[in-house]
Copies of this chain bind each other. A is one copy, B any other.
């Protein structure tokens, strides 16, 4: 139950699964090596007892993932619509109970796009239509020193990737003068799960995207750019490259997109007017 003066929070389980498991492998020298590998679990999402989708996930943040999926698919409009999010790994399911139900779930589920990225389909046509209505803060700026601070924060962050590989990571970070603090870091076997889990946690923690930077280890495809824009984050940074459609959507929505960012290297692709390269 929520205290009177605290912001609303749905009932949540806390059912994170272990992220890595050890298996034995034989290396090129014939030596048996105990090797950590990343978890991967099916998680079927039910909304008010109706099956919506099965996500294959690392399971590190299943409640936030479920909430963020519903947010990013535009199936729910605000956190207050959610009464409870209950994960039960015995049956690989997450049950979301809503206050008023989902109006047009059947209709929305009919037309799905299997997207480029890892993990999830999206009601792509709807999202593209929505892009035009997104307004990112024009006055936000990102200084190069802040970018470098973010890349350093990411570099030293303890990750499942360093242990086991086979996951993508996403981070939400602050954008301060010459500093960038990682507020959330989520890894998943599907990179769209990672971004969705961050979107869910941002709802739960009432975090606005406008003064933040979004970092991902993954490629900047159309869907990644759309999701960052939906979260209202003006800066999108990736260690990897980008696609043509990711680039053109970034231009359309006016996001500042930086690729190939590692150590002191980067390529600034779009939204240069918000970037400050001064020393």
The chain A residues found within 8 Å of chain B, CB to CB, are 21, 23, 25-28, 30, 33, 35, 37-42, 51, 53-57, 111-121, 124, 144, 164-166, 189-190, 219-223, 240-247, 259-260, 264-269, 272, 277
Expressed in whole angstroms, the Cα–Cα distance for A243 and B242 within the complex equals 25
Q: Once the chains are docked, how many angstroms separate the CA of A37 from the CA of B251?
A: 15
Judge whether B268 and A124 touch: CB under 8 Å.
no
Nearest B residue to A45, CB-CB: B114
Q: A28-B266, A166-B219, A267-B35 are in contact. Are A246 and B115 (CB under 8 A)?
A: no
Q: Is the CB of B113 within 8 A of A23?
A: no
Residue of B nearest to A161 (CB): B241
The smallest C-beta distance from A186 to any residue of chain B, in angstroms, reads: 15
Residues of chain B within 8 A of A265, CB atoms compared: 27-28
In the complex, 6 of the A-B residue pairs with CB atoms within 8 angstroms, ordered by the A residue number, are A25-B268, A40-B245, A40-B246, A54-B113, A56-B223, A166-B219
Whether A267 contacts B27 by the Cβ 8 Å rule is: yes
Chain B residue nearest in CB terms to A22: B244
Are the C-beta atoms of A40 and B243 separated by less than 8 Å?
yes
Query: Known contacts A28-B265, A242-B166, A267-B25; is A190 also within 8 Å of B40 by CB?
Result: no
Question: Closest CB-CB distance, A10 to chain B, in whole Å?
Answer: 23
Cβ–Cβ < 8 Å partners of A112 in chain B: 53-54, 112, 121
Q: Which residue of B lies closest to A222 (CB)?
A: B40
Known: A121-B114, A189-B243, A222-B56. A269 touches B25 (CB 8 A): yes
Contact B119 A115 (CB under 8 A): yes
CB of A159 to closest CB in B, whole Å: 13
> Do A37 and B115 touch (CB < 8 A)?
no
5 nearest CB pairs, A to B: A165-B241, A56-B116, A40-B243, A166-B241, A40-B245
| Nearest CB in chain B to that of A268: its residue | B26
Residues of B within 8 Å of A189, CB to CB, are 116, 219, 221, 243
Q: Are B221 and A56 in contact (CB under 8 A)?
A: yes
